[in-house]
Structure 1
Amino acid sequence: MSTRLNTQSSVVTHLEKHPLKLQSIDLKKLQRYARMGLFQGIRRGIEKETLRTCANGDISQLDHPQVLGATLTHPHITTDYSESLLEFITPVFSVREQAHAFLEDIHRFTYRRLHAQTEHPQLAQEMLWPTSMPCRLQGNESIRIAEYGQSHSGLMKFIYRRGLDIRYGRTMQTIAGLHYNFSLPDTLWPLLAHLDGLTPEQADKDYRSARYFGLIRNFRRYSWLLIYLFGASPAVDKSFADAFPQHGLQPWDKQTFYAPYATSLRMSDLGYQNKAQASLKICFNALDTYIETLKTAIASQDPHYAALGIKDAAGEYQQLNANILQIENEYYSDIRPKRVARSGQKPTDALAEGGVEYIEVRCLDVNPFQPAGISVRQMRFVDLFLVFCLLEASPFIEDDECHYLEQNHARVVKQGRDPQLTLYTPDGQQVPFAQQAEDLFARLAPVAELLDLGEKTPIFAQALSHYHQRIAEPERTLSARMLAIMAREKLSFIELGQMLAAEQAAYYQRSTMEPARKALFAQLVESSLQQAHDLEQANQGSFEDFLAAYFA
């Protein structure tokens, strides 16, 4: 791209409205609050993507099943990029086990509805793909763009996805991930503000946003640990690799490519860390510069995209606009500041108005060994990691450090289990990965002790110990386990996915579902279909007018 947007030299921040810069929170001063159970009020929600796949491992070509409801209006079952890429969304829970159980129930309901389709035998044989990297594809056109009906909002979602196709191709859009949404309870913010030397009244949206952006900066410094531990995409099918001729991977067999020490190819330049957005240099030093950069990208035309045309030869929209980003969501990042927007409100406007409400973690691969794609123990570790990132001092990220962080990320996704791997420190020194990891686990330990003060058993210390063992034993990481099974059983990547998918389908078919939850999901199917119909009937004016009003 020809346009370069760089916010690194601009460090104007809401912190300047406060009398001091935020440093590390003294954990000892938080112990009383932890014993009161205030950290048990941490809220989290999960968004998990999964492809519908045919029995032979091919991507499904069937419409999104109406028996699952309308994707535009269903609160828990929708689609992401493609018609076959399901997205399961939990409500927000303060109890991890409840969030996990709800996610499993979405899977149960989906499988029951799919396999009950006697009039659609192909649909009844479909399974949910268990890995982040996709099942077998048959070229770009085999990936059907998700459709959302004829309402103006539904048509906008479809055209946005057409734009992603002509800009990046559809293949990378088939990659599935697991997004983890995290926020502190309201009761903690005045207490943190007090420890920062502020009054309770100063625990406002600016203070919260500043602390959340500190979390984001520390996350970018240390997220390589999450990628190492939870990366589960060391191999891809040939049909995926063929879309990236310069992939640099090694052949596993005739149908599989891999990288021997890779942890998460999903987070490599084969996935959503796409080079097409290299001009967007955002290291998250402040909310206002983050918003300003995204708004500029949405308002700045890109010559290449302009040459493609907003409409195709038939006069149909093929992208929403010719700007660097069509909308905010086109910016791919491993973590995002978020706020629930009102109907029709743009995400950046919601952030500017109300500040950061929660954090969306986007670097987690789907765990192929867990039917829900994540375990409760993983959730505990992620919560622990995020609390650490929030309570630690978090200096602004300057240009040099931002470069080193990008290098660390690239190394861990492709070479994370290499015994010779080194990572950069903020001042540019290269230190062995194991040494950096050991240091980080040592810094996580006091936070685990703090959080365990509010628990009956030391669940956070146990999670920390469990994953700490993976540093000295990389063969126990998810990515290594996948390659080990493929080697032991002589499986291709697709065969491994089919085996795990069959096991998970059997798990959900034999497990029970609460009658009340089952009735709720059944009711949501009907109400979502009705709401989608009502939206189509309520269309007013032209679609062009609708778009103009949205981008005004």
Structure 2
Amino acid sequence: MVPLLFIANLLLLTSEQKCYSLGYEIKCIGVNTMTDRYSAIREAFHEPEINAQLFNSQFGLEAKKHRVLTNGRASRYPYPAALRSRKHNLYLNSGFTDNMIDFETEPVVGSKAAVRQLKMLEQIMISQLHEDERLWPLSLAPAPVYQHDLDYLITDNSKTWDQANHDYLGKKYGITQEIMGDVHVNYSLDPQLVQTLYRRFYTDQYDNLVDFQNHLYFKLAQSFVLYQWLFTYLYGASPVSEDMKLPEKLDLPVRSLRSSDYGDDNLPDEQIGYDSLESHFAQLQQYLDDGTYYSLKEFFGPVRCRRHNQDNKDLQGMLDHGINYLEFRSFDLDPLSRTGVSDDTINFLELLMLDSIISPLPDNLSERLQAARKLNNEVALQQPKEQTPEMRAAADKLIDKLQKLVDEFNAPKEYRMALKFVQRRVDDPSLTISGQLADQIENGNLLSFGLKLANDRFTANMNLTHPLQAVSETYSDSVQQILRAAIELGVNVKLADTNVTLSVADHQESYGAAGEFTFPDGPRAFVLNAFPEAKAFQEDSDEADAE
């Protein structure tokens, strides 16, 4: 029950104050003080030390792609034997089905480094494919041939330890939703920046750093939700489908079926809003407690609040120790980018996040968030080259705001280039990803286009001249071979400019970047000799194939 004093305090508030509820405690500051606070933060961003922290964010990338045959059918080859370390492998795994590949990179500073790691993982995976296998570059499965494989894919799972979750999700959401490919962008601010913001500007508003950090990250999540429609407009890339249950009146192609209400979403009566940190986590906790969600991973909203190495069912533990990254999960695979996501996409996202630090949320936030969700669905279901005057005006306004941020804080040139790409796509919808895909549709599908891309990229990867081409300028070929073997075996790797460090639990081994090594029994034997404990990570492939 809310104390009467709390209600009385609400009645005493004047229009001259901006107030925040922290539990039953209300903290208020004058409107002028709020304005002064944001102005002071903006001024502080000019200080060299803080300015350097601005563009020091970390990104981790997750991508899900289908293994398909050269005719577009689902691959029925077993998950590659050399990569059978799935209980322990942080980088390469199978998804809902064995024919879906999950790629996941370590968090690193900057978009370029993050995409480079994804390229590295993709090279490893492609090297393990059969001659007639390819990685499908689009979020939605190939049509129409994939329709013949759906019954098979429902049971295509050899991860017996995850069978219960697999069966639960398949029954509740259906195979079509569970095999959608996508990209998740994991984003975290420089911890020093978070500490500086709290220490200099927010000690009067939040009782401790963790409380501030939680609210800061949630504010960034709210900002993304408000502009999710623009990301769908720019990067939506799932215009057609022949296996989704869609209303007959829906006129295909659209911009992004996956990003629409028909796509990757929770059931209508099990969705969670972003009105406030407290209400968001209270609803999540309720759904975990009553069994609506089996874990945080079943929340399919556009942004998840996360903490590294935190139990996905322990929400209170996350809040007690502090949210330390956001998982943006509303991106279709970008078929025009080799890995499924481009540096420019990530850089544009980062600019929006940085602007959110120094910009207040709208006063009518709850209404705006509801309107934003509705608008995102409308944009997702628009024709690929459609654009309303209102969308154009809102996009131009944001771009202008971000351009001022880039100019004022002397952002590196890659951020300026990202804004130029966005502006071009706002000026001309045919340049958006879905706008370009619309011209590639034949017979109502993208089968020919997708297979051509898949074939070209397979050939290009097989012709690479280094074990890990994406990092060949930094590491010798033999160190690349060690890295490659370690990733295949499920050994953790850390990349630095001068060395690489491999680890299993507390056991670490480092190798100089330019080191030269010989492998009389091969790189895998070399790594297993250094980490004999990794032998236990390997699955019994014969047993798994028989499942």
- TM-score, structure 2 as length reference: 0.77
Report the CA distance shift for 1:15/1:207 in structure 2 as closer, same or farther (over 3 A). Answer: farther
- Secondary structure (helix, strand or coil) at the match of 1:362 reads strand
Give yes or no for contact 2:304–2:327 (8 Å, CA) kept in 1.
yes
Corresponding residue of 2:137 = 130
What is the deviation of 1:466? 2.1
Report the AA paired with residue 133 of structure 1. L
**Structure 1 residues 109-144: Cα deviation after superposition (integer angstroms, max 9, x where no partner):** 111122xxxxxxxx3321001011112232542224
Aligned residue for 1:510? 463
Q: Name the counterpart of 2:106.
A: 91
In the TM superposition, residue 349 of structure 1 has moved relative to its aligned partner by: 3.8
Equivalent in the alignment of 2:308: 340
Task: Show the 5 A alignment for 1:241-320.
Answer: 241=244, 244=245, 246=247, 248-250=249-251, 258-259=252-253, 262-274=254-266, 276-286=267-277, 288-300=278-290
User: In structure 2, how many angstroms separate the alpha carbons of the residues matched to 1:16 and 1:228?
Assistant: 40
Residue 294 of structure 2 corresponds to residue 326 of structure 1: yes
1:158 equivalent in alignment to 2:159: no
The correspondence for 1:403, drawn from 356, 370, 375, is 370
1:337 is displaced (CA, Å) by 0.7
User: For residue 323 of structure 2, what is the aligned residue in structure 1?
Assistant: 356
Q: Is the 8 A contact 1:341 1:347 kept in 2?
A: no
Shift of 1:30: 0.9
Does residue 464 (structure 1) correspond to residue 388 (structure 2)? The answer is: no
- What is the CA distance between 1:148 and its match in structure 2? 5.8
CA contact (8 A) 1:130 1:367 kept: yes
Indicate the SS of the match to 1:61: coil
- How far, CA to CA, are the matches of 2:263 and 2:93 in structure 1? 22
> Which among 395, 398, 407 is matched to residue 449 of structure 1?
407
Q: Secondary structure at the match of 1:361?
A: strand
Q: 1:247 to 1:28 in 2, by over 3 A?
A: farther
The answer to whether 1:367 aligns with 2:334 is: yes
SS at match of 2:439: helix
Give RMSD over aligned pairs: 3.0
Q: What is the CA-CA distance between 1:283 and the residue it aligns to?
A: 1.9
What is aligned with 2:65?
Answer: 50
User: Is 1:477 equivalent to 2:432 in the alignment?
Assistant: yes
Say which SS state the counterpart of residue 63 (structure 2) adopts: strand
Supply the distance in 2 between the matched residues of 1:380 and 1:497 (Cα, whole angstroms).
Answer: 26
- CA–CA distance in 2 between the matches of 1:268 and 1:186? 34
Q: Indicate the SS of the match to 1:62.
A: coil
Which one of 156, 161, 168 corresponds to residue 173 of structure 2? 168
Contact 1:337 1:358 in 2 (8 A): yes
Structure 1 pair 46–404 and aligned structure 2 pair: CA distance change class (3 A):
same
C-alpha distance in 2, partners of 1:460/1:268? 28
Which residue in the other structure is 2:398 paired with?
A: 440
What is the aligned partner in structure 1 of residue 38 from structure 2?
25
The corresponding residue for 1:234 is: 239
The amino acid across from 1:387 in the alignment is L
1:143 is aligned, of 149, 153, 157, to 153
Shift of the alpha carbon at 1:12?
5.0
- TM-score, normalised to structure 1's length? 0.76
Q: 1:75–1:89: 8 Å Cα contact kept in structure 2?
A: yes
**C-alpha separation in 2, matches of 1:193 and 1:486:** 51
Which residue number corresponds to residue 124 of structure 2? 109
Q: Could you tell me which residue of structure 2 aligns to residue 545 of structure 1?
A: none
CA change 1:61–1:38 in 2 (3 A) is same
Distance in 1 between residues matched to 2:447 and 2:338, nearest whole Å: 17
The residue type paired with residue 137 of structure 1 is Q
CA apart distance, 1:499: 1.0
Q: Show CA shifts across 1:401-435 (max 9, x none).
A: 3331221111111116565636xxxxxxxxx2111
Q: Which consecutive unaligned segments of at least 5 residues does structure 2 have?
A: 1-19, 492-527, 541-547
Q: CA deviation at 1:400?
A: 3.2
Task: Give the CA deviation at 1:372.
Answer: 1.0
Displacement of 1:340: 1.6
SS at match of 2:395: helix
Provide structure 1 residue ranges, at least 5 long, that are not aligned to the other structure. Answer: 1-10, 115-122, 251-257, 301-322, 423-431, 538-552
- Aligned to 2:38, the other structure's residue is in SS state coil
Shift of 1:386: 2.0
* Cα distance in structure 2, aligned partners of 1:415 and 1:329: 29
Using the alignment, how far apart are the partners of 1:205 and 1:197 within structure 2? 12
For 2:282 and 2:38, locate their aligned partners in 1 and report how far apart those are by CA, in whole Å: 29
Distance 2:262 2:248 in 1: 7
Provide the rounded CA distance (Å) in 2 between the counterparts of 1:494 and 1:235. Answer: 11
| SS of residue paired to 2:381 | helix
Q: Distance in 1 between matches of 2:343 and 2:135?
A: 20
- Cα–Cα, structure 1 residues 130 and 290, in superposed 2: closer, same or farther, change >3 Å? same
- Corresponding residue SS for 2:87: coil
Distance apart, 1:471 and its partner CA: 1.1
1:526 aligned to 2:489? yes
Structure 1 residue corresponding to 2:82, chosen from 61, 67, 87: 67
d(CA) in 2 for partners of 1:531, 1:277: 44
> When the two structures are aligned, how many residues end up with a matched partner?
462
